[in-house]
Amino acid sequence: MKQYDLISLRSFVAVVNSGSFNKAAEQLETSTAAISRRVASLEAELGVRLLNRTTRRIDLTESGRQYHADVTAILEALEEAEERINCDRQAISGSLRIAAPLSFGTQCLGPLLPPFLQRHPELRLQVQLEDRFTDLIADQVDLSIRIGSLTDSSYVATHITELPRVVCASPGYIKCMGMPRIPADLKSHNCLHYNNVTLREEWGFRGDNGAISVEVGGTFCANNGELLRDAALQGVGVISLPQFIVQEALDKAQLIPLLTAYTTAPMGLYVLRPTRSFTPARIQLFIEYLKSAYTNPV
């Protein structure tokens, strides 16, 4: 049986998962040249080509596809073995890579991280804030925090809490365009919303007669709540955002809550993690910590 360098195996998997030698080098904190040498050495040792390289993309060969699946399973098994050995230790160590939306990360997640690190001083946190759907495998992320509806069937989702949502607009906008009295009135308003694909979406409400869904549209949509809030503050239109994003503006009367006779459908807060038979202790601990933080807020 051939002897393989574990670092070379990890380098190969990182290249495939990220789709780039450069990204793999960033993830493994080394140079692109080092990653390239490791993969080339692995191919030479095996006597087969694992990757087809072009100037634009990297594709797996048929042999590479099977080898990637087998090596991924081996590396996950090694990680699980290490976790099982260390599960009885008091101190949790290693790296925990977290992805979260930008607004939530700065306003809600940020204050929760120092106490968590104080409890687990041997743990290393790596946080990336971005307003896109994170590919946990390609980006080598342990868990991703998601707000809103879920469509990823390939991940394990844990529900953390429901985030209240507020429909509001600036006093100037209301003075110019009028106050909506019922959800259906929003059809004649400029509604700004989360979305980077289409200019229309549905907003949900609940009134005395049950659930109401209104299709809204507007001149502006974005994948960042603070950008939408700032547009609303300047009188561009109506927004429906998590309360934590607009609370300060509401307190200062810079934004006015609308349709208060109706209950606005909240937005779910979830943690997504890759599907595995064994969840590392550091991931499970963080999920439990986050759930506790929202169940028993300080």
How far is it, in rounded angstroms, from Cα 32 to Cα 30? 7
What is the token pair recorded at 110?
């940020």
Band (174; pLDDT cuts 50, 70, 90): very high
How far is it, in rounded angstroms, from Cα 194 to Cα 241? 9
Say how many CA atoms lie within 13 Å of 96 toward its Cβ: 25
Average pLDDT, the chain: 86
Who's near 33: CB < 8 A, 6+ residues apart?
A: none
String of b and e for 282-293 (b: at least 16 CB within 10 Å)? bbebbbeebbeb
Level-2 CATH architecture, domain 6-83: Orthogonal Bundle (1.10)
Q: Say yes or no to pLDDT of 219 above 50.
A: yes
Q: Say yes or no to pLDDT of 87 above 60.
A: no
Q: Say yes or no to pLDDT of 197 above 60.
A: no
Fold match flag (94-162+268-295 vs 165-265):
yes
Q: Which residue has the higher pLDDT, 33 or 255?
A: 255
**CA angle (211 as vertex; 210, 213 as ends), nearest 5:** 145
Give the model confidence (pLDDT) of 123-166 as tens digits. 899 999 988 877 777 777 889 999 887 765 678 889 999 999 99
3-state DSSP assignment of residue 238: strand
How far is it, in rounded angstroms, from Cα 66 to Cα 77? 17
Tell me the CATH number for domain 165-265: 3.40.190.290
Give the model confidence (pLDDT) of 237-272 as tens digits. 999 999 999 999 999 999 999 999 999 988 899 999
What CATH number matches the domain at 94-162+268-295, 3.40.190.10, 3.30.1330.60, 3.40.50.970, 3.20.20.60?
3.40.190.10
Q: Averaged over 219-244, what is the pLDDT?
A: 94
Q: What is the pLDDT of residue 131?
A: 82
3-state DSSP assignment of residue 102: helix
Give the gyration radius of the chain's Cα atoms.
Answer: 24
Who's near 264: CB < 8 A, 6+ residues apart?
A: 164, 165, 166, 167, 203, 204, 205, 240
φ/ψ of 84, rounded to 5, equals: -65, -40
Q: How many residues does the chain have?
A: 298
Q: Where exactly are the structural domains of the chain?
A: 6-83, 94-162+268-295, 165-265
